[in-house]
Structure formats: structure tokens, C-alpha cells
Amino acid sequence: MLVKIILLNILLGIIINTYGELRFEKNAMQEDTNNKCFICNIERHIFDKLPDYGFVRHIENDHNMWKYIFFLVHLKAKDPTEYTGIESYVSAKFDVLDMSWLPLHKAICLDEVGSSEEEQKRAKFE
């Protein structure tokens, strides 16, 4: 009887630990979803620092994941002989599971801010 109780407690401990790990993974995925851009993987606080901009505006306008998905569906539905240059390039990359066509760690709004800051620094030295 004592051995059965000990074995049941060990089994219960394993089940509780497994659920704890699953909850931790779910929370980590939810945090990534809420705090990182799905397309460029840049964190929320970087976009929120920009004047007159923000993370929500970025994911709704610049890197709307549904527009990327619709583009891929468009490529699959379209006849490959009618592709434009960009469509051919993306289709070829996607067929071999090469995601280098996505703007990883790049965003135009960040480039614009970076270039204006560089121009301001150059103007100070001139």
C-alpha cells in the first residue's frame, strides 16, 4: 500500500511538472506575440520610442502578417508563367523554404529615423 502511494505521488508530480512546463511555454509564446513583430522580429519598445509611431501602427500597416500570407496564397493561385520579377523571386525562395526574402530585423520606419539622426550629427560637425 505504501509503495502504491509513493508511485502515485511520483506520477502526480510528473503530471504537474509537465503542465507547468506547458503553461510556461504558452506564456512565453503569448509574450512574443504581444511584444515582437511577427515579420521582422523587432521588439515593441523600439517602435514605441519613435515619435508619432508605435508598435500597433507598425504591425497594422508596415508588417501586417495577413498581407504576407495573402501574398503567398496569391502566388500559389497565380500561374507561374505570369509572375512579375518580385513574385518569381519570392516564389522560388518560398518553394525551397528560404525565408531570406522576409525583412528580418529590418523596418523602414527605423531606417528613416536612423538616417535623420545621422544627418543631424553630420550637421553639428559641419
State phi, psi for 73 to the nearest 5 degrees.
-65, -40
For the cut 90, the answer to whether the pLDDT of residue 14 exceeds it is yes
- Of the pLDDT bands very low, low, confident and very high (cuts 50, 70, 90), residue 117 is low
pTM of the model: 0.66
For the cut 70, the answer to whether the pLDDT of residue 53 exceeds it is yes
Cα–Cα distance, 34 to 55 (Å, whole number) = 10
What pLDDT score does 120 carry?
44
H helices, E strands: number in the chain: 6, 0
Cα–Cα distance, 43 to 64 (Å, whole number) = 15
Cα–Cα distance, 62 to 68 (Å, whole number) = 11
What pLDDT score does 71 carry?
94
Tell me the pLDDT of the chain averaged across its residues.
Answer: 86
Cα–Cα distance, 47 to 54 (Å, whole number) = 5
